[in-house]
Structure 1
Amino acid sequence: MFIQTESTPNPATLKFLPGQSVLAAGTADFPNEAAAEASPLAARIFATGNVTGVFFGPDFVTVTKADGVEWAHIKPGILGAIMEHFQSGQPVLGDESGTVGHAVHDGPDGEIVNQIKELLDTRVRPAVAQDGGDITFHGFDRGIVYLHMQGACAGCPSSTMTLKMGIENLLRHYIPEVVEVRPVAA
């Protein structure tokens, strides 16, 4: 098994490509070791030490390291953990409870919210997945779109620029009711 790695715009995060499917659908975010208990693979990666976050996409694993730790010191252990997991035959998730998607929005803005989700799914999420992350809809209130950033996008130095210059401009262009985009914490 050969696992490729790619850098991301977030220097604390590295994208691992195992060359096979990681998740059949959706994404899964494990922002801490306690959350990783739902995933044998995430738990194995956290066990290597100095890992502060793990995120799964369809064909990649994104790992965020602790501050002050060099990738050269922890990357071999993470590669080994990923390889061991896929060779073990264990499932990536113990159940599907770790998978995340857009939040459900009940209210009078249903059509606007559907347009927002459609633009996120077709224009935004594929692009941020290339960088090892995901952005999901969290809410819409009085013209403000709330988005949840995960994987390499969470804590990325360029995430504010991505939100304001990229996603906000895109949504405002297609949906006049959108006036601002804001991130929300997990």
Structure 2
Amino acid sequence: MKNYSISIKETTNPTILKFETDQFITQHESFEFNNIDEAKSSPLAQQLFYLPFVKKVYISGNFIAIERYNIVEWKDVQDEVATQIEDYLNSGGAVVTSSEAKKKVPVTVYAESTPNPSVLKFVANKKLVTKYHEFTSIDETAYAPLANKLFHFPFVKSVFMEENFVSITKFDVADWNDITMELREFIRSYIENGEAIINSDAPEVKQKSDQHLDEQYEQKDDVSKEIINILEEYVKPAVASDGGNIEFQSYDPQEKKVKVILQGACSGCPSSTFTLKNGIENMLREMMKGKVETVEAING
């Protein structure tokens, strides 16, 4: 049985609220329902239309978006709706029935260079995963069908996935000019056919759920929490744009040392040491005066 958790996200339209799931509920398909008659193929949408304030229901990827009539304000009903959706999904209720024909969705994938010459970032116009995943060998891909397939290419050394991109590290024997098109087309076709990217019932997925990460965060000391918040706000967006990720590992108050894990394009990148020392270390020393002196990558 899958275990879903829901988080509430506001949109630019005050009448529309997104209820994000920590796992995908459709295979890269999107559905829009304007009334209960149109929602015959979606038992979940039909149930939501029984709420008198529901005007439209959108279902896509890892979220349900609901547009409301003005008879209520979201702040008065959003928690109740989130609980209803969560309970429905966790009871095994169908999102969209199988009678709805599985159809291809137009997918574009483009290759983007990174600061690491051994890594190329393949960016899709679809959300691929809800949390980051890194694989350094095929042995780690039991719950990740796409990564497993990628390792069948003999030149693939490691795979990193986050949000809407896949970063691939190659062995030196291959040249990007010879393999980029092949990889890009394989990833595009795989996504377009609606194949599973990450198995949602895998324990590794549960470990990366918002609830699990929140629990880990709450167990840390105040300085560690402050460091994590700085990394999340100032550093992660920058390294993600380069096809990588950075994770807080530990903080030593005696040595005033922060240890981090570099992933994806950042791992083994020739410029990562410079970025670490001249960027991240200087930032933390400045923003946390007297508390941080050095930053060390335990894998880079």
- TM-score where L is the length of structure 2: 0.57
Cα distance per residue 1:25-47 (max 9 Å; x no partner):
x2111112211232111111111
How far 1:73 moved relative to its partner? 2.1
Return the letter of the residue paired with 2:292: V
Paired position in structure 1 for 2:112: 6
Deviating more after overlay: 171-180 vs 29-38? 29-38
Say yes or no: does 1:31 pair with 2:117.
Answer: no
Unmatched segments (≥5 aa) in structure 2: 1-106
Q: Which runs of 5+ in 1 are unaligned?
A: none
Aligned to 2:193: 88
| Aligned equivalent of 1:68 | 173
Cα offset, 1:148, TM superposition = 0.2
- Residue in structure 2 matched with residue 179 of structure 1 by the alignment: 293
Structure 1 residue identity aligned to 2:284: L
Deviation at 1:102, TM superposition (A): 9.6
Counterpart CA distance in 1 for 2:160 and 2:215 is 18
The structure with the largest alpha-carbon Rg is 2
SS in 2 for 1:139: strand
Equivalent AA in structure 2 for residue 178 of structure 1: V
Q: Is the 8 A contact 2:243 2:264 kept in 1?
A: yes
Equivalent pairs: percent with the same residue?
33
> Across the two proteins, how many residue pairs are aligned to each other?
184
- In the other structure, the counterpart of 1:55 is 160
> Per the alignment, in what secondary structure is the counterpart of residue 77 of structure 1?
helix
- Which residue in 1 is equivalent to 2:273? 160
Quote the residue 1:140 is aligned against: 251
Is residue 128 of structure 1 aligned with residue 239 of structure 2? Answer: yes
Indicate yes or no: 2:155 matched with 1:44.
no
CA distance in 1 between partners of 2:298 and 2:215 (Å): 12
Tell me the CA shift for residue 103 of structure 1.
10
Q: Assess if the C-alpha contact under 8 Å between 1:103 and 1:137 holds in 2.
A: no
1:172 alignment partner, SS class: helix
2:292, 2:231 → 1: CA distance? 13
Asked if the contact 1:40/1:93 (under 8 Å) is kept, the reply is yes
The one of 150, 157, 173 equivalent to 2:263 is: 150
Structure-2 residue corresponding to 1:15: 121
- 1:79 is matched with which residue: 184, 189, 192? 184
State the structure with bigger RCO (CA 8 A, min sep 6), 1 or 2: 1
- For the 8 Å contact 1:139–1:145, the answer to whether it is kept is yes
Distance in 2 between the 1:22 and 1:164 partners?
Answer: 32
Q: CA deviation at 1:90?
A: 2.4
Q: CA deviation at 1:153?
A: 0.1
1: CA distance, partners of 2:228 / 2:184: 34
Q: CA deviation at 1:81?
A: 2.4
Provide the aligned C-alpha RMSD in A. Answer: 2.2
- What is the one-letter code of the residue matched to 1:110? D
- In the alignment, the residues of structure 2 paired with residue 42 and residue 149 of structure 1 have an alpha-carbon distance, to the nearest angstrom, of 19
